[in-house]
């Protein structure tokens, strides 16, 4: 009888040790998943901000070229295009 009790106690102790390891691994996996989601959302926000910044800077450059250079840019473009099409 005491042998049976000893076996049951040993099995219970082994089962508890395995269970605690599984719980610990599960918690670590969950924590790493949350950290990865946070990093991906930060990266997504940074990329979206860079995209908006690029688009607004592209529009600002177009606006600058049109407002500041205006007719001079057209004359320069036509003269350059005329030189290329007329062969020099």
State pLDDT tens for residues 34-88.
Answer: 999 999 999 999 999 999 988 888 778 778 777 777 767 777 777 777 677 765 5
For residue 29, give both structure tokens.
């996996």
Q: Is the dihedral of CA 8, 9, 15, 18 positive or negative?
A: negative
State pLDDT tens for residues 3-43.
Answer: 776 776 767 766 666 667 788 889 999 999 999 999 999 99
Residue 31's pLDDT is what?
Answer: 96
C-alpha–C-alpha distance, residues 76 and 79, integer Å: 5
C-alpha–C-alpha distance, residues 64 and 52, integer Å: 18
């Amino acid at each position: 009888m005491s042998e049976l009790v000893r076996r049951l106690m040993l099995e219970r102790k082994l089962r508890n040790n395995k269970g605690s390891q599984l719980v610990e691994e599960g918690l670590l996996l969950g924590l790493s998943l949350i950290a990865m989601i946070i990093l991906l959302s930060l990266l997504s926000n940074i990329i979206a901000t860079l995209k908006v910044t690029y688009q607004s800077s592209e529009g600002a450059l177009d606006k600058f070229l049109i407002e500041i250079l205006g007719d001079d840019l057209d004359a320069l473009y036509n003269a350059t295009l005329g030189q290329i099409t007329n062969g020099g």
